[in-house]
Amino acid sequence: MKKRIAILPGDGIGPEVCESATKVLNEIGRLYNHEFDFVYGDLGGVAIDKTGSPLPEETLSICKSSDAVLLGAVGGPKWDTLPGHQRPEQGLLGLRKQLELFANLRPVTIYDSLAEASPLKDEIIEGVDLLIVRELTGGIYFGEPRERRGEGEQETAVDTLVYSRQEVERIVRKGFEFAQERRGHLTSVDKANVLESSRLWREIVDEVAKDYPEVTYSHMLVDNAAMQLIRNPRQFDVVVTENMFGDILSDEASMITGSLGMLPSASMSANGPGLFEPIHGSAPDIAGKGIANPLATLSSLTMMLTFAFKLPNEAQALQEAINTVLEKGYRTADLTKDATDALSTNEMTQRVIEALNEKTVTA
Ligand SMILES: NC(=O)c1ccc[n+]([C@@H]2O[C@H](COP(=O)([O-])OP(=O)(O)OC[C@H]3O[C@@H](n4cnc5c(N)ncnc54)[C@H](O)[C@@H]3O)[C@@H](O)[C@H]2O)c1
Ligand SMILES: CC(C)[C@H](C(=O)O)[C@@H](O)C(=O)O
Ligand SMILES: [Mg+2]
DSSP symbols for 328-346: TT--BGGG-S-GGGPBPHH
Residues with CB under 6 A from ligand 1: 13, 73-76, 89, 92, 260-261, 277, 280-286, 292-293, 296, 334
* Residue with CA at minimum distance from ligand 2 atom 5: 247
Cis status, amide bond into 77, omega within 30 of 0: no
Share of the chain above pLDDT 90, in %: 94
Reported confidence tier of residue 362, pLDDT bands at 50, 70, 90? low
How many angstroms separate the alpha carbon of residue 202 from the centre of ligand 2? 24
Q: By the 8 A CB rule, do 348 and 20 touch?
A: yes
- Position 360 pLDDT exceeds 80: no
The predicted pLDDT at position 85 comes to 85
- Position 141 pLDDT exceeds 80: yes
The predicted pLDDT at position 113 comes to 92
217 labelled catalytic? no
How many angstroms separate the alpha carbon of residue 316 from the centre of ligand 2? 27
- 35-47 confidence digits (pLDDT tens): 999 999 999 999 9
Reported confidence tier of residue 324, pLDDT bands at 50, 70, 90? very high
- 165-219 confidence digits (pLDDT tens): 999 999 999 999 999 999 999 999 999 999 999 999 999 999 999 999 999 999 9
- 152-169 confidence digits (pLDDT tens): 999 999 999 999 999 999
The predicted pLDDT at position 338 comes to 82
32 labelled catalytic? no
141 labelled catalytic? yes
Domains within the chain, CATH numbers bracketed:
1-100+265-363 (3.40.718.10), 119-257 (3.40.718.10)
Average model confidence (pLDDT) across the chain:
96
- Position 339 pLDDT exceeds 90: no
- Position 53 pLDDT exceeds 70: yes
The predicted pLDDT at position 340 comes to 83
Closest residue by Cα to residue 38 from 71, 12, 73 = 71
Tell me the average pLDDT across 2-11: 98
* Residue with CA at minimum distance from ligand 1 atom 36: 283
How many angstroms separate the alpha carbon of residue 138 from the centre of ligand 2? 13
Share of the chain above pLDDT 70, in %: 99
291 is an annotated ligand-binding site residue: yes
The predicted pLDDT at position 363 comes to 55
* Residue with CA at minimum distance from ligand 1 atom 18: 281
Tell me the average pLDDT across 322-348: 94
pTM above 0.80, yes or no: yes
223 labelled catalytic? yes
Distances (CA, A) of 134 to 103, 167, 172: 6, 12, 9
Residues with CB under 6 A from ligand 2: 75, 89, 92-93, 247, 279, 281
Selected catalytic residue, list 191, 217, 237, 334 = 191
247 labelled catalytic? yes
Q: 117 or 102, which is more confident?
A: 102
DSSP symbols for 14-67: HHHHHHHHHHHHHHHHHHHT-EEEEEE---THHHHHHHS-SS-HHHHHHHHTSS
Tell me the average pLDDT across 55-62: 98
How many angstroms separate the alpha carbon of residue 150 from the centre of ligand 3? 30
**ipTM higher than threshold 0.90:** yes
- Position 70 pLDDT exceeds 90: yes
Tell me the average pLDDT across 350-357: 98
